[in-house]
Amino acid sequence: DKMQHHLCPKTFPPIPRDIVSDRNSESVVVIGAGVSGLFAALSLQKMGIKNLAVLEASGNFGGRLRAAPDAFSDAVEGCPFDVGAEWIHSSDGMRVLQSMMEGFYDNDGTKVDKTELMPYKPTIYFRSRKSRILTSLYKETKFKSSTWYHWLEENVYAKVKQYVEVNRPVKNVVYHDGAKKIKVVLADGEEREADRVICTVPLAILKESVEGRSLQFDPPLSDRMTAAIRSIDMPPGFRVLFRMKEKFYQDMSIDGTFLGTLLNTDDVTIIYDAALGKDQLGAKQNILGYVAIGHKPAGELSRLESTELGAAVLRRIDEHFEGKGSANIIGEPVVQNWAAEPYICGSYSFPGSAKHRLELSKPLAGGR
């Protein structure tokens, strides 16, 4: 019963059942209430830490997990859509979700997960050319009547929301050797002290940091860690959702050739049917999704404001489908430009080298 897709691990690292009793009273500050920050808080809570604060710079939890606005969902029979992370990169999505929650279930061990998933097997094209090989190999999972954001809200955030403080950007982390406490300085000048600090901000924010902008560390990060931060890419990216009168587009169309995509996996543009498999929607509900990741496909466009970006993407769709985008669009699109989010500044972190990933995983100040 092995995981059927290599992009997801078979299991996730277990959390300790408890920690040394004299550490239960330690204070911990988690910087960031994205997926990593919330799971860190959930793990600490499970280990008995009670003096805990999760400081989120923006006005909401979730990081790069986000759902389309309610107005958009209401217009499509109440069906929610992701505008951040969307796919579960495995043919056994429920196994992934249960692995992520291992150790966090009720005390009786009952695994309760009512999330409705669906297999995702689109017919894939490179522009207008069907790829039989990729269509036969591509097997992933998606949420059918929910989103990644709503799953996180129900399964993780709900358990730790009492610790989460939004609109609390951190300006400086002071962790000098010999000091009893780590000082966390907020943008408004408030200071917090903690025994330990867990920093879960996006890589793009760390890139800003090492250039002297955004969050700062005192003392500064080591040369080796700074080099690792600079070496791993987190390029711009955005997603746009359109309501269309007719489905004139393929299940999934990659803007490029098969060979070109293989040679350059860092840049990708995908036009796809965001409603594929959501058979609870009526036949007249057609949702076209447009995703661009990378410096070439998303760099220049990501500098536009939302209305201009939506219009520019619609022009790209018209070029691709001979004007059918403008002829079929209903209402205004949903535009999520992750590069323009001030506390995210990019799409997602690329893998980078094992050496640099290892360096970024090392704790500072003796694990404090």
d(CA 11, CA 14): 9
Question: Minimal CA–CA distance to 353: which of 259, 212, 224, 237?
Answer: 224
The pLDDT, as a whole number, for residue 170 is 98
Peptide bond into 69 cis (omega under 30): no
In the 3-class helix/strand/coil scheme, how is 14-60 assigned residue by residue? CCCCCCCHHHCCCEEEEECCCHHHHHHHHHHHHCCCCEEEEECCCCC
The pLDDT, as a whole number, for residue 166 is 98
Tell me if residue 242 falls in helix, strand or coil.
strand
The pLDDT, as a whole number, for residue 26 is 92
The pLDDT, as a whole number, for residue 15 is 62
The pLDDT, as a whole number, for residue 263 is 76
The pLDDT, as a whole number, for residue 272 is 98
d(CA 154, CA 202): 23
CATH 3.90.660 in the chain is located at 87-146+237-337
208 phi/psi in degrees, rounded to 5:
-60, -40
Q: What is the CATH number of domain 87-146+237-337?
A: 3.90.660
Tell me if residue 278 falls in helix, strand or coil.
coil
The pLDDT, as a whole number, for residue 104 is 84
pLDDT < 70 positions in the chain:
1-23, 106-113
The pLDDT, as a whole number, for residue 163 is 98
d(CA 77, CA 228): 46
The pLDDT, as a whole number, for residue 113 is 63
What is the pTM (predicted TM-score) of this model? 0.92
Q: What is the CATH number of domain 26-61+148-233+350-367?
A: 3.50.50.60
The pLDDT, as a whole number, for residue 368 is 76
d(CA 134, CA 139): 9
Give per-residue pLDDT as tens, 63-91.
999 999 999 999 999 999 999 999 999 99
d(CA 270, CA 240): 11
Q: Which two tokens stand for residue 29?
A: 């500050």
- Which stretches does DSSP call E strand in the chain? 27-31, 51-55, 87-88, 117-120, 124-126, 129-130, 140-143, 164-165, 170-174, 182-186, 191-194, 196-199, 216-218, 237-244, 252-254, 268-273, 286-293, 329-337
d(CA 92, CA 25): 39
- 26: Cβ contacts below 8 Å, ≥ 6 apart: 49, 51, 195, 196
CATH 3.50.50.60 in the chain is located at 26-61+148-233+350-367
d(CA 292, CA 298): 5
**Which CA distances in Å does 1 have to 27, 90, 95, 100, 277?**
41, 13, 10, 17, 25
* Other beta carbons less than 10 A from residue 171's beta carbon: 15
